[in-house]
Chains A and B, each alone.
Chain A
């Protein structure tokens, strides 16, 4: 069967252990792949058959956990979501994500990222303590309200957008697209009442004003999230609040949900 036809591909893999090595080096491996082999499969094959010292991080193997983001041929991609032969290249260059500290080889350290994320309080904030402790029902929302934030809720926190952002490249304190998208995801959720509490982090020098709309974050996102859109909508909300003086309690006016008034924007085939 043609799908099983094996081809030999050369992998140039970034090797570096900050604890022992002075400088990184590139190591080459030859791997036989077929049409369905992903970059992650190939790296695991190298690890099993040729070099057990190669370090990688993964868990779900299906673009859900966000652990396997790396630079594949100089672009942020999920190793488990990228087929080797679809790259159409004789040599596959694999390196750790840019702009994160390297732990070893292809594994980067996200602890700083998740630490920063806490600033935007990535959870639903409510004031009705009594209802939270003794729930009498569910918080209902309409399909239209859901569509206002569901795209941004699809983020798997792979950190690739923040790695691609040219602003993150020069400003280590910048919250970055992943976190700002996260903030917008909760702010635009009709159940959430925490807009004010997130302002300190978002409405700051290293918050959403730092973004220059290079849209590289959206270009690399593997889940269709469009973090650049979230950031611009966040700014829109802040401008409306600051310049037009719309109170943050009037969420409907701050957060664009065009589809609430008009037609639902469903993809083809969903009607």
Chain B
């Protein structure tokens, strides 16, 4: 059948993370958080007074903080920074996009993400609720 012959993965391809590098997982989360933010923005435009509150706030915070931090990483890498210079490919291959500065940046944004989310959750769940 045509669909088998075509063999295209479609959206399920985004979710096939095993056996690839961590950047693919970051990409998936960037997509999902982006879609989440757009959905929230729509609801927010229709009912301007509404906001999720409590755990809803925490989830929205996760989306926004992740999307922003990872977005900053992408702004850098997608302008050719931190991915290494062209080199001669000699076995065992080390690809600049998967090692070194880019990877350190991944660790930094993930660490910042955890810190921001912990603070934000405290604000949303303890201070605002209390």
Per-residue 0/1 for B76-103: is the Cβ within 8 Å of any A Cβ (1 yes, 0 no)? 0111100111111111011111100000
Instruction: Give the residue name and chain of the A residue nearest to B96 (CB).
Output: A229
Q: By the criterion CB–CB under 8 Å, are B23 and A256 in contact?
A: no
Instruction: Give the residue name and chain of the B residue nearest to A155 (CB).
Output: B89
Q: By the criterion CB–CB under 8 Å, are B4 and A23 in contact?
A: yes
A77 to B23, CA, bound (A): 19
Q: By the criterion CB–CB under 8 Å, are A24 and B9 in contact?
A: no
List residues 23-44 of chain B with CB under 8 A from any CB of chain A: 23-24, 26-28, 30-31
Q: By the criterion CB–CB under 8 Å, are B88 and A266 in contact?
A: yes
Q: Which residues of A contact B23 (CB under 8 A)?
A: 213-216, 219
**Does B129 touch A at the CB level, under 8 Å?**
no
A76 to chain B, nearest CB (A): 9
A147 and B88 in contact, given A99-B13, A226-B95 (Cβ under 8 angstroms): yes
Instruction: Give the residue name and chain of the B residue nearest to A185 (CB).
Output: B86
Q: Which residues of A contact B98 (CB under 8 A)?
A: 215, 218-219, 226
**Does B49 touch A at the CB level, under 8 Å?**
no
List residues 9-27 of chain B with CB under 8 A from any CB of chain A: 9-14, 16, 18-21, 23-24, 26-27
Interface stretch of the complex, out of A5-13, A51-59, A230-238 = A230-238
Q: Which residues of A contact B80 (CB under 8 A)?
A: 232-233, 235-236, 256
Q: By the criterion CB–CB under 8 Å, are B21 and A150 in contact?
A: no
A233 to B82, CA, bound (A): 11
**Does A16 touch B at the CB level, under 8 Å?**
yes
A151 and B4 in contact, given A170-B11, A218-B95 (Cβ under 8 angstroms): no
Q: By the criterion CB–CB under 8 Å, are B21 and A215 in contact?
A: yes
A89 to chain B, nearest CB (A): 12
A219 and B20 in contact, given A102-B5, A265-B87 (Cβ under 8 angstroms): yes
Per-residue 0/1 for A122-151: is the Cβ within 8 Å of any B Cβ (1 yes, 0 no)? 000000000000000000000000011111
**Does A242 touch B at the CB level, under 8 Å?**
no
Q: By the criterion CB–CB under 8 Å, are A18 and B8 in contact?
A: no
A166 to B87, CA, bound (A): 26
A232 and B89 in contact, given A99-B9, A108-B7, A169-B9 (Cβ under 8 angstroms): no
**Does B74 touch A at the CB level, under 8 Å?**
yes
Q: Which residues of B contact A225 (CB under 8 A)?
A: 89, 95
**Does B45 touch A at the CB level, under 8 Å?**
no
Q: By the criterion CB–CB under 8 Å, are B19 and A169 in contact?
A: no
Q: Which residues of B contact A211 (CB under 8 A)?
A: 78
Closest 8 CB pairs between A and B?
Answer: A169-B13, A224-B93, A224-B89, A236-B80, A214-B27, A215-B23, A169-B9, A18-B5
A-B contact pairs, 10 of them (CB 8 A): A74-B16, A97-B7, A99-B8, A100-B7, A147-B87, A166-B13, A166-B16, A169-B12, A170-B13, A224-B93
